[in-house]
Amino acid sequence: MTTSHTPMIDIRDVSKSFILHNQGSALIPVMEGATLAVSPGECVGLVGASGAGKSTLMRLIYGNYLAASGQILIGGLDVASAEPRQILELRRSTLGYVSQFLRVVPRVATLDVVAEPLLAVGTPLEAARDRAATLLAQLNIPERLWSLSPTTFSGGEQQRVNIARGFAYDYPAMLLDEPTASLDAQNRATVLGLIAQAKARGAAIIGIFHDEAAREQVCDRFVDVSAFAPRAAA
């Protein structure tokens, strides 16, 4: 797919600081002038030392952190100034996020955890479960576990359930936080395949990969977030 001229994700001059009211109102600037655009079908890798702000930037894009200034345009919606219901709709239909941690309601079966993003956009139950089953099988989650809640699974299994859930629905924009960390070779190859498929269908992707080989394989270019570090306070 050729990349179009309109970026799917367009971040302009975003800054972020935390004010800790209960610790002497300390003001901690963590990001300044973050600017980055990702076109459909493109995968951009965020790089930079630990603590440089890779995850912070991902959270800002997802609307999980509130930007202090700047614009975060996803499919034309400015996450930095949007209403909660607009962001919720964006997360349902446009912007997916595979975080490092699985957070689910206890007791819900794994198959339904994975199918949920599809149900949220109105996919019929059977079709959603079929897709969920395909992904779980691809990621080597044994079928006998599908009816159980993933809360009791091992860390690696939870991570794969999380990935299956993140890829169940074809989001036009995706954020991937360490999707291949601690996976064995086979599962890692599966995940890289899912990312390649998502790119091929035109998804704009921003990812954090500590795994260098994986990074080189799926990313089209890299952005060093150290460049967005706030200038040292004078």
Residue 65 in the binding site for other proteins (CB under 8 A): yes
Among 29, 33, 100, 120, binds other proteins (CB under 8 A): 120
Quick count: other Cβ atoms within 10 Å of Cβ 152?
Answer: 10
Residue 107 in the binding site for other proteins (CB under 8 A): yes
CA angle 32, 33, 34 (to 5 degrees): 95
Segment near other proteins (CB under 8 A); pick from 16-24, 33-41, 180-188, 223-231: 16-24
Segment near other proteins (CB under 8 A); pick from 5-13, 82-90, 127-135, 223-231: 82-90
Segment near other proteins (CB under 8 A); pick from 13-21, 69-77, 158-166, 202-210: 13-21
Smallest distance, Å, CB 68 to other proteins?
Answer: 10
70: CB partners within 8 A, 6+ apart: 11, 12, 13, 14, 15, 34, 80
Residue 63 in the binding site for other proteins (CB under 8 A): yes
Among 1, 18, 124, 213, binds other proteins (CB under 8 A): 18
Residue 66 in the binding site for other proteins (CB under 8 A): yes
Return the residues of window 162-201 that contact other proteins according to CB under 8 A.
none
Smallest distance, Å, CB 82 to other proteins?
Answer: 9
Following CA atoms 117, 195, 8, 161 in sequence, which dihedral angle do they give, to the nearest 10 degrees? 20
Segment near other proteins (CB under 8 A); pick from 19-27, 30-38, 166-174, 198-206: 19-27
Q: Which is nearer to other proteins, 91 or 188 (CB)?
A: 91
d(CA 190, CA 181): 13
Smallest distance, Å, CB 116 to other proteins?
Answer: 9
Residue 126 one-letter amino acid: E
Task: Tell me, by CB under 8 A, how many residues bind other proteins.
Answer: 21
88: CB partners within 8 A, 6+ apart: none
CB-CB contact of 46 with 206 (8 Å): yes
Residue 121 in the binding site for other proteins (CB under 8 A): no
Residue 24 in the binding site for other proteins (CB under 8 A): no
- What's the number of CA atoms in the CB half-sphere (13 Å) around residue 94? 18
Q: What does the binding site for other proteins look like in residue numbers (CB under 8 A)?
A: 18-22, 59, 63-66, 84-85, 87-88, 103, 105-108, 119-120
